[in-house]
Structure 1
């Protein structure tokens, strides 16, 4: 009997020790979990206008984020999250800045500037105004195949979770469908499609000021070592050679940056050089946020920087719903955080389809569209400058000239010059359930 008691006692000690070990090993992850939960809840509530219960049961309903206890405070315009009372995080909404994951023990921002918006309304139809699009029937469009392709994008939607599909051909909307609970006014997070927005800001800067992409990136701490060879071109093509880990399944460079860093632009700048600049492709959200921070340095003050995306691009082409979120230092989170309706995302694609020309004005030079869609070194034809490419036929049923903004969970803006097409797909797909090849390929084949 004594041995049995000793065995039970030992088992209890081992069990407690095991639980302690599991907790100790996972404790650092709590910041990521509660950071993600509070930030997502805040943005979905105050930018997208979704009920808190919907965000909990859908957008945040995946492991381990769904373990967090969260609440929305309407009086503070904030969202809180913690896990068993630990690692409490707060994200707060600031008009025109979006939701910002606040640093510990900080309730106010250290700056008061806000982007100045000039949301225009005109009587012109989509895409150049806010009036409804003109109905147009094109004889060369196989509407039966088009409808079938769009329906397939929503089939089995408990897995695909497609929320919106929009097809624009020759500046006319020829297909538009939304999942229940969503419509043309619904605002969606673009995730890494924001990278394509960031690249576009550099294209505009280059067009306005002859900015030299081949000049070394102006990072002070790089000037005394081999990182001084890294150019803006290398950063745009994800070939800087900097150390980086882009892994969202665990604590990594990218998750620490997005959910613990106050100044996200500085994270990649502190990384060591692993490869010769220009020779090794590696997808890095840190690289894009570094570009966003370097862009800030091109302006005389924070106000000018905050205004720039809106006055030069977003409001200029009538993407009135779009908001780009910043971090707590006032730098746009150029890797990940921009929101807009499907129709406004389509306008972004159309700007590239028309090579920067928008309703009588050249927003960026025509060769910029060629630049972003030219394969980066070592990318095997899959990546350009903050845009993904089909140059190597990764989507075998879509035209090879297809290039696209691509975001987590299947956010896409496909630009297909040979078909005069822009296709927008927005959703919440986890895994490989969304068939991008089927959508881009099917719609392309419907244009005969």
Structure 2
């Protein structure tokens, strides 16, 4: 009996020691996957709480835990409303993730926990005050809309708008003609565009091309590339995702994209360090790292920190009346042009209308002539699915848009978890669809766009007009 008691005591002691060792390991050197998860959770909660005004418990449960990796279900959070910070930890103890909010700049992930450095990166930068639209004035100058009953019926069909839909806005001939919102969301809720941000980032590059500050054919783009083959990469090749740089865009594990977004305080330093895996201009590789490099280039072309940080609001959102739009930086103050822009669905629609108008807004040309055409022009290296300006020339899925009956000039902004905007210039149509819809659910927005086109044609026939 004593022997059994000693054995049991020894076993318990060994187990206790193992628990202490494991806990110490998790505290001192947590696995990268856990740190990715906590960094992701902190960033998503921070932005949705302090930009969109949502409840932190709801955001953690619905946006982070429900659709994500099973380990995220064990994340616990601490939201400091006074200090505007969010800290998340596995089981409330391990692998901390941090994010901090900045006035006018949303939230930045802070992988190293240095809140002060992140706050100083964007401090003392004056931003223009963009007044909200007048509810009595017609959109896009104001917020008044006149819905089309036929289209409203389509947007009430969950089979067309898809699971997890949060907003759908339909723009036709310069006006919002239909919109719908998911439970808990409204026309005033800023929503994350994920990779739709890449197209806005490309438009900012276009603004500086128009001003002569950037040229598509410029090479030798970064000091870190001088003296090696990467110096041959041009700005045009970055825009077309044909730089030849290695980058793993797979989510769900520790890859280049998750490491850059959630483990690296200086995302540009990580992206600029990547090696070539193909000759520049010869291969297509979709890369969020490329978009971050574009952010650094256009910000550097403006010649100063204040000018660069204020440029999206001053030079783009203000002229369009996008009062809700927020681009978010990394810890060092470089905009995460690959992924992090929040705006209401109506403001995403304002940007879409700019593209429908070939870069013109009222009487002002905001984008150089030809830039929107480049967004609709497929590249050979991509197999005809991607453009020269950070857009997709076919919607999600294996089928081509023409297989759904969509016009050949349709092109897309697409983002993670079901964000999409279909731009159909020949029909004066844009369809903004936002939500939380993981790709594993198989939702495709093309049938919604096709049904909208059919409804518009039916309305013309009833009015005695020929359909387009």
TM over 0.5: yes
Aligned to 2:460: none
Q: Say what the alpha-carbon RMSD is for the aligned residues.
A: 2.7
Aligned to 1:114: 125
Q: 1:373 to 1:393 in 2, by over 3 A?
A: farther
Q: Could you say what secondary structure the match of 2:198 adopts?
A: helix
- Following the alignment from structure 1 to structure 2, what is the Cα–Cα distance between the partners of residues 151 and 51? 26
Q: Could you say what secondary structure the match of 1:108 adopts?
A: helix
> CA deviation digits over 1:113-133, x for unaligned, max 9?
435123045658343322413
Aligned to 2:87: 80
Q: Could you say what secondary structure the match of 2:188 adopts?
A: coil
8 Å CA contact 1:285–1:335 kept in 2: the answer is yes
Alignment of 1:156-167 (within 5 A): 160-167=163-170
Aligned to 1:388: 392
Q: Is 1:92 aligned to residue 100 of structure 2?
A: yes
8 Å CA contact 1:101–1:328 kept in 2: the answer is yes
Instruction: Compute the displacement of 1:26 (Å).
Output: 7.7
Aligned residue among 358, 364, 368 for 2:367: 364
Instruction: Compute the displacement of 1:412 (Å).
Output: 1.1
8 Å CA contact 2:330–2:336 kept in 1: the answer is yes
Q: 1:264 to 1:113 in 2, by over 3 A?
A: farther
Aligned residue among 188, 195, 208 for 1:192: 195
Alignment of 1:427-438 (within 5 A): 427-430=435-438, 431-438=440-447
8 Å CA contact 1:93–1:100 kept in 2: the answer is yes
Aligned to 2:450: 441
Aligned residue among 285, 288, 291 for 1:288: 291
> CA deviation digits over 1:73-100, x for unaligned, max 9?
1121111101131122221111011111
Aligned residue among 132, 156, 162 for 1:151: 156
Q: TM-score, normalised by structure 1?
A: 0.89
The aligned length equals: 431
Q: Could you say what secondary structure the match of 2:87 adopts?
A: strand
Aligned to 1:140: none
8 Å CA contact 2:219–2:234 kept in 1: the answer is yes
Instruction: Compute the displacement of 1:375 (Å).
Output: 1.2
Q: 1:122 to 1:56 in 2, by over 3 A?
A: closer
Aligned residue among 46, 49, 66 for 2:50: 46
- Following the alignment from structure 1 to structure 2, what is the Cα–Cα distance between the partners of residues 213 and 70? 44
Aligned to 1:27: 31
Aligned to 2:413: 405
> CA deviation digits over 1:283-303, x for unaligned, max 9?
000000011011121022100
Flag structure 1 segments of 5+ consecutive residues without an equivalent.
Answer: 138-142
8 Å CA contact 2:320–2:361 kept in 1: the answer is yes
- Higher mean C-alpha deviation, range 302-311 or range 56-65: 56-65
- Following the alignment from structure 1 to structure 2, what is the Cα–Cα distance between the partners of residues 245 and 417? 33
- Following the alignment from structure 2 to structure 1, what is the Cα–Cα distance between the partners of residues 78 and 296? 32
- Following the alignment from structure 1 to structure 2, what is the Cα–Cα distance between the partners of residues 383 and 217? 24
- Following the alignment from structure 2 to structure 1, what is the Cα–Cα distance between the partners of residues 220 and 412? 26
Aligned to 1:423: 431
Flag structure 2 segments of 5+ consecutive residues without an equivalent.
Answer: 458-468
- Following the alignment from structure 2 to structure 1, what is the Cα–Cα distance between the partners of residues 377 and 445? 21
> CA deviation digits over 1:239-295, x for unaligned, max 9?
100111111110011101000111112222111111011110010000000110111
8 Å CA contact 2:242–2:283 kept in 1: the answer is yes
* Structure showing greater relative contact order (alpha-carbon pairs closer than 8 Å, 6 or more residues apart): 1
Aligned to 2:277: 274
Q: 1:113 to 1:290 in 2, by over 3 A?
A: farther
8 Å CA contact 1:149–1:438 kept in 2: the answer is no
Q: Is 1:37 aligned to residue 55 of structure 2?
A: no
Aligned to 2:72: 65
- Following the alignment from structure 2 to structure 1, what is the Cα–Cα distance between the partners of residues 213 and 266? 28
Instruction: Compute the displacement of 1:401 (Å).
Output: 1.0
Q: 1:325 to 1:122 in 2, by over 3 A?
A: closer
Alignment of 1:245-324 (within 5 A): 245-324=248-327
Q: 1:32 to 1:254 in 2, by over 3 A?
A: same
- Following the alignment from structure 1 to structure 2, what is the Cα–Cα distance between the partners of residues 128 and 360? 14
Instruction: Compute the displacement of 1:446 (Å).
Output: 2.2
Q: 1:35 to 1:171 in 2, by over 3 A?
A: same
- Following the alignment from structure 1 to structure 2, what is the Cα–Cα distance between the partners of residues 378 and 105? 40
- Following the alignment from structure 1 to structure 2, what is the Cα–Cα distance between the partners of residues 375 and 113? 42
Q: 1:414 to 1:82 in 2, by over 3 A?
A: same
Q: TM-score, normalised by structure 2?
A: 0.86
Instruction: Compute the displacement of 1:220 (Å).
Output: 1.0
